[in-house]
Amino acid sequence: MYMGHYAIALGARRRLQALPMAWLLFASIEPDLHDVLGSLVPALSIGPDTHTLLGVCAAAIVVATITSLIFRRIDLALGAGMLVLSHVAADYLTSRLPLWRHGPVVGLHLYATHWVDFLLEAGTIAIGLALYASSPDLRRPARGGVAVIAIVMLACQAVWNFGLDGG
């Protein structure tokens, strides 16, 4: 689910304040966006590589380069690239993915154990939002909304893990 990736982006906001939140969220789910693009345009032949080590490293370099060109700060570029890399690192906990095209499949596949996956995602959401809430430039009224964001994210994750019928 995207909630853990978004939580990582929210937590990164504390260090990457100069980047717009939309850019942080984009970087955190870039491999999934690439996956969708690969599915929509099979001729690109990128679908099988979006979550491999080579694919995510290439995406991180591209996102870091674009970030550097737009925002003209290497620290922001490195941070955006790290967000892309964090995506696959997190996915190796929750899924089973190939290390390279036709390579060995690795990962803990926590999706298969709904409660364990939910607890991991909930912990990631809690840490990410705690970091976000402590961001020095966050306005006081926005801090009050963090609890609402947490509830929405946890509800989305619960629906993902357990469905609307609780199963």
Q: How do residues 100-139 score in pLDDT, each as one tens digit?
A: 988 999 999 888 899 999 999 999 999 999 999 888 877 7
Q: What is the arithmetic mean of pLDDT over 30-57? A: 85
Determine how many CB atoms are found less than 10 A away from the CB of residue 99: 16
Q: Which residue stretches of 41-73 are H helix?
A: 53-71
pLDDT at 129 (0 to 100):
93
Per-residue pLDDT averaged across 23-32, rounded?
95
145 vs 27 pLDDT, higher one: 27
Using a cut of 0.85, tell me whether the model's pTM lies above it: yes
